[in-house]
Structure 1
Amino acid sequence: MKTEKPISEGIMDSLQMKTSFKDFNSLKNEADTLYLKFQRMGFIESELLELKKENDSSYLADFSLGKKFSFLKVFYSSEDFTKKELQQISSEVDETYFILSFESIPLSLKKLTAIRNQKGNAFARVKLTDFEKDENENLSATLFIDNGNVRTVDSIVVKGYEKFPRSFLKYYAGVRKGKIFNQKKLVAQNENLNGLGFVSAVKPPEALFRKDSTTVYFYLEKQNNNLFDGILGFANDEETQKLTFNGYLNLELNNNLNYGEQLLINYKADGKEQVNFRTKLTLPYLFSTPFGLSGELKIFKRDSTFITTEQQIRATYQIDPRSTVYVGYKGYESSNLLDEAIAGTPIDDFKSQFFIAGGSYIKPQNRKLFPVKNAILLDVGIGSRKKDGKSEGQLGVETTLNNIFNLNYRNSIFIQNQTSVLFSESYLVNELFRFGGINSIRGFNENSIDASLFSLINTEYRYQFNDGIYVHSIIDLGYFENETISIKQNLYSFGFGLGLNTKAGLFKFNVANGNAQDSDFSFSNTKIHISISSKF
């Protein structure tokens, strides 16, 4: 190759030029390719002057390069692109033009085409026309847009799981008829469906474009998503000679009627100290609307001290695929089981009624072991407690915030904060929040701490070996207040854990040592938390 002026080594390297060819046609194709490469580098006036045969085995390509242009001034219409959109490809954007380096032109045009596609122009084409040089030898061009027809989703077809509840497509994933077709958004919505648990996306969605309609196909497969784990024991109480139960049972039935419904049954008992029972029924998207209903019953009994029953009903509304709000009613009824009052332990019969409202924001991610990227939960209750014929106003607030910081595929950091507070003029032990254990602060017994206010920070550094096993650290910090005994205290726990996805289900093993402020470290405070969730 020969040019009218020497070419730098950097340009020669970027050309990646071949020098040996099996025949003349492949040699001619390489010469034409070099011409296009020169143009993309900014030598837009370049041309191949001659391809001359020097001898039986050598040819000489003679190029005229002309001036090298480093930047291109591109004029555009604000009706086609906004300044904010153009700032994705250019650092210098004016009201009528933007500046591009020559090397970035192909990628920039590709990005602009993708932006038009997201606006429903599935067959849009973006190109540069009307190249001109001004008096200062600066190069300019005009951005030309061929939008084609704007496409909207006219029909939706589900393949593989024909009985899939369509309301989840509309409200949970956000796929609706009449929406502008956006391939990138459809792929993200398809991945969101994996977060439901009872369905999996077999492959990305596809679109069939006809002359006057667009049909989107989703390829789904029903998954068994009923969960069960538990151990139940039976024994005779040495004092009363009555049969007692101990252990735990956790049953979760999901989408067995192809409606997206959920039934939870949870039972925990240690035989003597406490019994905790919970059941909840959730009915989403009633009559194919974004409204749903849920009802819940909780019963908590602490040895022979007290028993508290909680009933709750909620009406929910799905704002968008990630956000839900609700209003409802929550009622408590508690009975003092003590024959005689214990000094310094205010326990009494009472009834409470609360109007509750709140919401949630949950962002899923396509990770089998950690399907939720971040979550924000808020619950506020305004009501009153009635005791001995007297009523007292109360306000309760509960929040949960968590996030996973994905450093890369194997490494991530999980951080969660749980805060609950009850505002009241006076407090009873049997109306306080109860926390401690694997779902709150690890290293402490389950529901062993009473609080009128508590705030917990749970952290885990996670290392994932593959999609089936991970290990993690445990660093939990907590603060709580108990107004019934006028105590304020800091808590902390440290440990490690293991998660293993087996044929039987997801096995979790945690070892944590929990201590209170100003307490000496003791190995006897170490707790082992084991859980396994089996799908069927």
Structure 2
Amino acid sequence: MAAERPISEEMKDSLRIKTSFKDFLSLKNEMDTTYLKLQRMGFIESELLQLKKENDTSYSAIFFLGKKYSKLKVFYSEEDFSKKELQRVASEITDLYFILPFETIPLALRKLTALRNQKGNAFARLRLSEFEKNDTDMLIATLLVDNGIVRTVDSIVVKGYEKFPKSYLRYYAGIRKGKIFNQKKLVTQSENLNSLGFVSTVKPPEALFRKDSTTVYFYLEKQNNNLFDGILGFATDEETQKLIFNGYLNLELNNNLNYGEQLIINYKADGKEQINFRTKLTLPYLFSTPFGLSGELKIFKRDSTFITTEQQVRATYQIDPRSTVYIGYKGYESSNLLDEAIAGAPIEDFSSRFFILGGGYLKPQNRKLFPVKTAILLDAGIGSRKNENKPEDQLGVETTLNNIFNLNYRNSIFVQNKTGVLFSENYLVNELYRFGGINSIRGFDENSIDASLYTVLSTEYRYLFGEDIYAHSIIDLGYFENKTLSLQQNLYSFGFGLGLNTMAGLFRFNIANGSTQDSSFSFANTKIHISISSKF
């Protein structure tokens, strides 16, 4: 290729012109592509002057480049775009015009068109007109906008899973009739449905535009989301140095009635006569409203020391697709099973009544193994405890904060903090928070730590080998206080884990070693947990 003046090596690299072709048509197409590249680089006066055959195997092309324009001054109307919107494409903006580097013009026009589409102008078209040249390297043009008809979502049709509970479209995904049509947002909202577990999106939503209406079609498929989860744990008894077992069983029945309902039955035993039973029923979006209801029963028994029963009822309200608040009632009944009191461990019969309120924020992501990117949960209860007919006011607060920092497709960092604090004048052992184990601080026995205050920071560096397998580190740090023992202590846990999605379900393997600030490292403290979550 030749020009009216020599071109720089940098410009040759930018043009990336091929030098060999299989036929003349391929050569002609390459020259047309080069002409378009020159136009986009600012050589708007450029043209192909000659394509000459030198011999049987070579050709030469001569271009006229003309003046290079490096910037475009675009006059616009504030009725079409605000200054704030134009900041997405330009840095120099006035009330009358904005300035674009010449190479960014196509991308800027695509972004501005997308902005119009998001406002319901699905057929909006933008073009530059009234071009003017001046003596500088700046070209002048006017931005013309054809907005078309503003489109709204007039009807919604679900294909594939016709019995899908429509309330989830309205309140969970935020898809409603009458909303301005925004194709990009609808795709995101449709993908968010994947985090429900009992449904998956087959393909992106499509729209049918009629003269006076817009119908959006969602393509969904029902997924089996009943869950059976079992954990088998191994540990060494510190006193006998013998191998002991602990177990965990969890049954979740989800959406079997096509209502989005959930029934949970959970049972835990740590091999040392500690038993934890929980059952919960959740009914979302009652009568197709954003209100829901849930009831829960928990029973905890520690060997022959005490047994505590908890009942809880919540009324929930979905503020928006990601945020929920609730109010409710929580009651405790606890019985001392000891024939004789243990010194330094106040365990008494008591009953407690709490008014509870809280909320949650969940941000999903379209990742099969990690469907929730961010979670913020707050639970607070105010009430009183009565034992030996002595009432005592109490306040309890628990929070959970977690987030996944996606570094790229394969690498991510998971960070979670769980904190709980009980404010009271006096404390009983059988009313304290209980934590420890695979779902709080790993490397410790399940519910083996009693605390009036605790906070646990759990971290994982995750590496995704493929869509169905990943490995992760385990670094957990904790702190707790036990007012009944006047104890304050730091906790540490280190290890690694593996997750594998199989035909039978999600297989997880965790190995972690936990220690306290007063104890040295010992392999005997290592806990191994194996679990498989089977869907049916």
Partners of 2:271 and 2:25 lie apart in 1 by 88
Unaligned runs of 5+ in 2: 233-245
Partners of 2:374 and 2:267 lie apart in 1 by 28
Partners of 2:261 and 2:125 lie apart in 1 by 45
- Matched with 1:274 is 274
- Matched with 1:261 is 261
Partners of 1:31 and 1:406 lie apart in 2 by 42
Is 1:456 the counterpart of 2:465? The answer is no
- Matched with 1:178 is 178
Deviates more, 1:373-382 or 1:331-340: 331-340
Partners of 2:467 and 2:25 lie apart in 1 by 51
TM-score, normalised on structure 1?
Answer: 0.92
TM-superposed CA distance for 1:191, in Å, is 0.8
Q: 1:55 to 1:82 in 2, by over 3 A?
A: same
Q: 1:42 to 1:446 in 2, by over 3 A?
A: same
Q: 1:475 to 1:32 in 2, by over 3 A?
A: closer
Match of 2:346, SS state, is: coil
Match of 1:207, SS state, is: strand
- Matched with 2:439 is 439
Q: 1:480 to 1:79 in 2, by over 3 A?
A: same
Q: 1:34 to 1:484 in 2, by over 3 A?
A: closer
Is 1:85 the counterpart of 2:96? The answer is no
1:222-233 correspondence runs (5 A): 222-230=222-230
Larger relative contact order (Cα-Cα within 8 Å, sequence gap ≥ 6): 2
Q: 1:531 to 1:231 in 2, by over 3 A?
A: closer
- Matched with 1:192 is 192
Is 1:357 the counterpart of 2:357? The answer is yes
TM-superposed CA distance for 1:410, in Å, is 2.0
Partners of 2:446 and 2:309 lie apart in 1 by 18
- Matched with 1:10 is 10
Deviates more, 1:433-442 or 1:522-531: 522-531
Partners of 1:18 and 1:444 lie apart in 2 by 64
Match of 2:5, SS state, is: coil
Q: 1:100 to 1:485 in 2, by over 3 A?
A: same
Query: Does structure 1 conserve the Cα–Cα contact (< 8 Å) formed by 2:270 and 2:445?
Result: no
Deviates more, 1:255-264 or 1:305-314: 305-314
Partners of 2:21 and 2:448 lie apart in 1 by 80
TM-superposed CA distance for 1:472, in Å, is 1.4
Query: Does structure 1 conserve the Cα–Cα contact (< 8 Å) formed by 2:231 and 2:532?
Result: no
Query: Does structure 1 conserve the Cα–Cα contact (< 8 Å) formed by 2:231 and 2:530?
Result: no
Query: Does structure 1 conserve the Cα–Cα contact (< 8 Å) formed by 2:309 and 2:332?
Result: yes
Q: 1:23 to 1:273 in 2, by over 3 A?
A: closer
Partners of 1:404 and 1:25 lie apart in 2 by 51
Deviates more, 1:427-436 or 1:511-520: 511-520
TM-superposed CA distance for 1:3, in Å, is 4.0
Percent identity at matched positions?
81
Partners of 2:179 and 2:530 lie apart in 1 by 47
Query: Does structure 1 conserve the Cα–Cα contact (< 8 Å) formed by 2:70 and 2:137?
Result: no
TM-superposed CA distance for 1:496, in Å, is 1.4
Partners of 1:348 and 1:123 lie apart in 2 by 71
Unaligned runs of 5+ in 1: 233-245
2:498 alignment partner AA: L
TM-superposed CA distance for 1:94, in Å, is 2.4
- Matched with 1:397 is 397
Partners of 1:452 and 1:133 lie apart in 2 by 76
- Matched with 1:377 is 377
Q: 1:34 to 1:510 in 2, by over 3 A?
A: closer
Partners of 2:274 and 2:417 lie apart in 1 by 26
Match of 1:171, SS state, is: helix
1:459-478 correspondence runs (5 A): 459-478=459-478
Match of 2:92, SS state, is: coil
- Matched with 2:152 is 152
TM-score, normalised on structure 2?
Answer: 0.92
Partners of 1:126 and 1:64 lie apart in 2 by 29
- Matched with 2:493 is 493
TM-superposed CA distance for 1:287, in Å, is 0.5
Partners of 1:230 and 1:138 lie apart in 2 by 69
- Matched with 1:98 is 98
- Matched with 2:70 is 70
Cα RMSD over matched residues? 2.4
TM-superposed CA distance for 1:82, in Å, is 2.1
Q: 1:253 to 1:26 in 2, by over 3 A?
A: closer
Match of 1:427, SS state, is: coil
Q: 1:46 to 1:449 in 2, by over 3 A?
A: same
Deviations 1:175-220 (A, max 9, x none): 1111111111111111101100001111111111111111111111
Q: 1:221 to 1:142 in 2, by over 3 A?
A: same
Deviations 1:363-397 (A, max 9, x none): 11111111111111111111111122221111101
Match of 2:408, SS state, is: coil
Match of 1:168, SS state, is: helix
Partners of 2:18 and 2:384 lie apart in 1 by 84
- Matched with 1:328 is 328
Query: Does structure 1 conserve the Cα–Cα contact (< 8 Å) formed by 2:70 and 2:138?
Result: no
| Count, aligned residues | 524
Partners of 1:219 and 1:372 lie apart in 2 by 22
- Matched with 1:236 is none
- Matched with 1:210 is 210
Partners of 1:33 and 1:409 lie apart in 2 by 34
Partners of 1:24 and 1:446 lie apart in 2 by 75
